[in-house]
Amino acid sequence: MNSAPVSEHRLHRRVQFHETDAAGMVHFSWFYRYMEEAEHALWRAAGLSVTEVAADVFFPRVSASCDFRNPLRFEDEFEIAIRITGLTEKTIRYACAMTRGETPIASGTLVAACVSVRPGQPLKAVPIPQAIRDRFAVAPV
Amino acid sequence: MNSAPVSEHRLHRRVQFHETDAAGMVHFSWFYRYMEEAEHALWRAAGLSVTEVAADVFFPRVSASCDFRNPLRFEDEFEIAIRITGLTEKTIRYACAMTRGETPIASGTLVAACVSVRPGQPLKAVPIPQAIRDRFAVAPV
Amino acid sequence: MNSAPVSEHRLHRRVQFHETDAAGMVHFSWFYRYMEEAEHALWRAAGLSVTEVAADVFFPRVSASCDFRNPLRFEDEFEIAIRITGLTEKTIRYACAMTRGETPIASGTLVAACVSVRPGQPLKAVPIPQAIRDRFAVAPV
Amino acid sequence: MNSAPVSEHRLHRRVQFHETDAAGMVHFSWFYRYMEEAEHALWRAAGLSVTEVAADVFFPRVSASCDFRNPLRFEDEFEIAIRITGLTEKTIRYACAMTRGETPIASGTLVAACVSVRPGQPLKAVPIPQAIRDRFAVAPV
């Protein structure tokens, strides 16, 4: 594990058949999952897991968006490049660029909030634990 | 709510676009979800929820199988008929027939075991709570 | 079928177990599918199907976004209200509000482009066929 | 590419968050997708793609079954070992064993039929093209 804070990560991925739809392309809902897979890979690269670091917090999404440029098809190999673009007391903002070789496929954003887990209570945003914060930094522009 | 034990249920469903794959048909993995949707509708018809009745048990699958006869396509309307075909101390067995009008689509089975939830411990089959058992009966052949 | 153009639609839905994740809530990727289910229900309310009206065009997404306010959990019943908020020569813009009773759950947008299907060619935006256009109108603010 | 016929393949995989459900485990419908991912990896190992070899046939499932022994959880690394256990004129039968280290997770079977694609016609099983057949062999017991 690298002890420097982590700002970005690249994930290589192949399109699976069950990710396609009857238009012969990857269904758009999958791009949000691809972004999340890259986010979790980024956390692992930082030596963390979204579920194991702190048993009493988790990081649900506050918002997510994606712009679609070109389709992905079955067995296409592509890359998801994720970068941390914002880090506030309670939230982490990511930007993702998905590409197949030189072809731009999609670009998106995820905002996740640090939320305390109290059974039977509404979700409540809380400060990101220091042990997690220390492992991340905003990527240079 | 009917106070007689429940043995079978019919669920009407329409194929959603995200359930199709690049072959233009519903991806086969969805049929297992359709069967589970019918199972949970059967539980609701019995006045139960798989997650709320007993906080310390749940019903993961021990096995599931499906034979595929004809494809389903986007916006097809179809029916899932589920029947309880076996009820042992710790398991429930279901059979499902999926049809689109008169056309047979698929038939499958699910076996679910009653399992106790003990954090950090392996899953362990336990007797089905009486309050659940009383609500179900094996369907006549 | 109503012969007046259609601008909005409401879809009632129940959360299925397979839509939840290990945080005990509906996985955020599902909200994009819920929006699409409402979009296709809106098309059906207009007497159309996204796949049947014109064999040589389809309507992939150009962009989609969602803000998440409160979680949905297994068996929650909720509503997806979809409205057409923009209609250009080649695109349709929708806004969706998802609610569980009085509780706001999520709100999102979809932009779909009319694209011609030419095997082996890149996707190309084309004017929305008149027979489709005539069935839709932008919802009043 | 190896020119000898292919009989088995091993695929290493990590559980993604969106594959889990509210019971904190991988939803059982995913195991069928894992098997299919291994099947397609086996085809690639044989120098083939289920979608590209022959434009006029595809290989939908005739049946699929799975027995579940132990749960998989988020970020678990596991292996899917797939073997060809039967090869008839028109069908291929696979057996899959899924394991996490020494722990048995699940075992399943897939049967796929070679089907001709004729727009607007019912699916019809046809002989597996020789160029595909030659690349596969039944695994020794």
The predicted complex's ipTM stands at 0.94
Nearest CB to A29; choose among B18, B24, B25: B18
CB contact under 8 A, B67 and D71: no
* pLDDT for res C2: 52
- Owner of token pair 């722990």: D103
What is the percentage of chain B residues whose pLDDT exceeds 70? 94
C vs D, Cβ pairs < 8 A, gives 28
Chains touching B by CB (3 or more pairs below 8 Å): A, C, D
CB contact under 8 A, A23 and C60: yes
CB contact under 8 A, A74 and B18: no
Has residue D139 got a pLDDT over 70?
yes
Distance CA D12, CA D17 (A): 17
CB contact under 8 A, B123 and D58: no
Task: List, for residues C94-132, the tens digit of each pLDDT value.
Answer: 999 999 999 999 999 999 999 987 777 778 899 999 999
Tell me if C97 sits within 8 A of C104, measured CB to CB.
yes
CB contact under 8 A, C23 and A122: no
Q: Write out the two tokens for C31.
A: 């909200």
CB contact under 8 A, C71 and A63: no
**Does an H or E element contain D29, and which?**
helix D29-45
* pLDDT for res C8: 98
Contacts of D114 in chain B (CB under 8 A): none
Please tell me the pTM assigned to this model.
0.96
CB contact under 8 A, C29 and A32: yes
Backbone angles phi, psi at C45, to 5 degrees: -60, -25
Nearest residue in C to A70, CA atom: C123
CB contact under 8 A, C32 and A33: no
Contacts of B25 in chain A (CB under 8 A): 22
- Owner of token pair 């988790």: A58
CB contact under 8 A, D65 and B60: no
Indicate the burial class of C30 (C-beta count within 10 angstroms; 0-12, 13-18, 19 or more). buried
Distance from CA of C125 to the nearest CA of D (A): 25
Query: Which residues of A sit within 8 Å Cβ distance of B?
Result: 17-18, 20-22, 24-25, 27, 29, 73-74
Banded model confidence at residue B52, pLDDT cuts 50, 70, 90:
low
Banded model confidence at residue A28, pLDDT cuts 50, 70, 90:
very high
Nearest CB to C16; choose among B37, B51, B74: B37
Contacts of B60 in chain D (CB under 8 A): 23, 25, 28, 68, 71
**A24, HSE (Cβ side, Cα atoms, 13 Å):** 11
Has residue B1 got a pLDDT over 60?
no
Has residue A4 got a pLDDT over 80?
yes
Please give the C-alpha separations between residue A9 and each of A46, C49, D21, D24, D124, in angstroms, as whole numbers.
10, 40, 26, 26, 46
CB contact under 8 A, B17 and A27: yes
Query: Which residues of A sit within 8 Å Cβ distance of D?
Result: 16-18, 33, 36-37, 40, 44, 49-51, 74-75
Contacts of B17 in chain C (CB under 8 A): 36, 40, 50-51
Contacts of C61 in chain A (CB under 8 A): 28, 68
Nearest residue in D to B68, CA atom: D62
* pLDDT for res C54: 59
Banded model confidence at residue B118, pLDDT cuts 50, 70, 90:
confident
Tell me if A59 sits within 8 A of A47, measured CB to CB.
no
Distance from CA of B57 to the nearest CA of D (A): 10
Which of A63, A94, A98, A123 is best to mutate for the C interface (most C CBs within 10 A)? A63
Distance CA D82, CA D80 (A): 6
**N- to C-terminal Cα distance for chain B?**
24
Banded model confidence at residue C52, pLDDT cuts 50, 70, 90:
low
CB contact under 8 A, A70 and C32: no
CB contact under 8 A, C22 and D22: yes
Banded model confidence at residue B123, pLDDT cuts 50, 70, 90:
confident
Per the model's pLDDT, the better-predicted residue between D122 and B136 turns out to be B136
Nearest CB to B51; choose among C37, C50, C74: C74
Task: Of A135, A104, A109, A139, give the one whose Cα is nearest residue A4.
Answer: A135
B vs D, Cβ pairs < 8 A, gives 61
DSSP state of C72: -
Contacts of B62 in chain D (CB under 8 A): 67-68
Task: List, for residues D73-117, the tens digit of each pLDDT value.
Answer: 999 999 999 999 999 999 999 999 999 999 999 999 999 999 987
A vs C, Cβ pairs < 8 A, gives 61
Distance CA C38, CA C103 (A): 19
Indicate the burial class of A56 (C-beta count within 10 angstroms; 0-12, 13-18, 19 or more). exposed
Has residue D1 got a pLDDT over 60?
no
Beta strands in B1-141 (DSSP E): 8-14, 57-58, 61-68, 77-87, 91-100, 103-113, 115-116, 124-125
Which of C14, C19, C52, C75 is best to mutate for the B interface (most B CBs within 10 A)? C75
Per the model's pLDDT, the better-predicted residue between C131 and C54 turns out to be C131
Nearest residue in B to A73, CA atom: B22
Banded model confidence at residue D55, pLDDT cuts 50, 70, 90:
low
* pLDDT for res D53: 55
Tell me if B123 sits within 8 A of B73, measured CB to CB.
no
Has residue C65 got a pLDDT over 60?
yes
